[in-house]
Structure 1
């Protein structure tokens, strides 16, 4: 692979991973969240960092693939899901707006599924890279709803 081909890939992965990491470092997730009632299916805190690191790498690679394929509608969906994804932590943790966070994560679920459905025929690898993301975000949606319900 030439530098001209590798550099955009690295930039897409850095954007997704770096953006998610930066938000994770700058949004306080400790005290308030620790005091919330959580459902029995809440994972240990360390799991979030591990899972999101892997997912952000996959998201970045998928973004690079649709960019490289010149698939404008898929690029729009990719950017839209990233904006909604990056918006969720400040809304949930900083603003402590659990109901609004539910709306955001459900919108994210829709964007991810749309991306998979539309990418399936044209950029199957990008679609497949989003499948674990869809599964985790669906789980996170159920978790968000349960936390809201238990703490209303």
Structure 2
């Protein structure tokens, strides 16, 4: 079964996710220099891994949002997209708190809020479009791993 792709919606969805992520990183100064100076918990990947992973995650998130946005109108769809946008805003702020302001413990709490938003969004996306829900799962799992890393940095620094 093939469906027509709404290229404008697809590019906007991908652009919002990927562009917002790169903008947050640029503003926050998430370079590996700050990260390399921190005492990190076990399993911490090298700093270069984060840019690669986040690019893939933002692509998956943008694609998931597109599938929902381009789907049938419903109150649940609107709730899912609202949670998605709020989650993007919360996600946008995290590197500012962590890298720019060095608020490591506050960042962990903020990340916990993000995880709740992402979990709820993923659930709604999954109920609307199973592919969209599955595309959000790596993001949720990475946020959980990021919380582990963030708590480790909070405790160790």
With structure 1 as the length reference, what TM-score do the two structures score? 0.92
CA RMSD after TM alignment: 1.6
Tell me the equivalent position of 2:64.
62
Partner of residue 122, structure 2: 116
Given the superposition, is the C-alpha separation of residues 148 and 58 from structure 1 closer, same or farther in structure 2, using an over 3 Å criterion?
Answer: same
Partner of 2:148: 142
Query: Within the alignment, does 1:24 sit opposite 2:25 as a pair?
Result: yes
Work out the CA distance in 1 between the residues paired with 2:15 and 2:38: 32
Note the residue ranges of structure 1 that are not aligned, 5 or more in a row: none
How many residue pairs align between the two structures? 150
| Structure 2 counterpart of 1:41, from 27, 40, 43 | 43
Q: Distance in 1 between matches of 2:84 and 2:120?
A: 10
Over residues 78-123 of structure 1, what are the superposed CA-to-partner deviations in whole Å (9 max), with x where a residue is unaligned? 1111111111000101111111101111111111111122222222
Q: Which residue of 1 aligns with 2:113?
A: 107
Query: What is the rounded CA distance, in whole Å, between the counterparts of 2:117 and 2:123 in structure 1?
Result: 10
Q: Which residue of 2 aligns with 1:78?
A: 84
Report deviation, 1:26: 2.6
From 108, 126, 131, the equivalent of 1:125 is 131
Query: Aligned partners of 1:33 and 1:122: how far apart in 2?
Result: 38
Counterparts of 2:79 and 2:121, CA distance in 1: 9
